């Protein structure tokens, strides 16, 4: 058993909140504390930060796409309404 793996020491929900929901400064501080206590290695910290970064970047891209799509649909709806009224 690899007891040094973070997923075996921390509940998944807590890990998900740290990786995906916590402010970046809070996340990094928690990682620093875990590393300082010897619960995770520097390599694991870097890997977790990378996972968190990629998730946040993808989430931001998806949010921008959905906002753009929503604006497009509103414009299309407005044009269609104007077309029907003319």
Domain ranges for the chain? 6-61
Nearest to 38 by CA among 15, 9, 11, 14: 9
Query: For residue 6, is pLDDT > 70?
Result: no
How far is the C-alpha of 10 from the C-alpha of 64, rounded, in Å?
32
pTM of the model: 0.64
pLDDT tens across 27-62, in order?
A: 999 999 999 999 899 999 999 999 999 999 999 999
- pLDDT in the model for residue 44: 93
CA dihedral 34, 15, 56, 59 (to 10 degrees): 180
């Amino acid at each position: 058993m690899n007891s040094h793996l973070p997923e075996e020491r921390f509940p998944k929900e807590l890990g998900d909140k740290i990786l995906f929901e916590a402010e970046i400064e809070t996340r990094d501080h928690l990682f620093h504390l875990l590393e300082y206590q010897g619960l995770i290695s520097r390599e694991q910290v870097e890997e977790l930060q990378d996972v968190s970064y990629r998730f946040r970047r993808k989430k931001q891209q998806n949010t921008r796409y959905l906002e753009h799509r929503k604006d497009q649909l509103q414009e299309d709806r407005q044009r269609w309404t104007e077309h029907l009224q003319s």
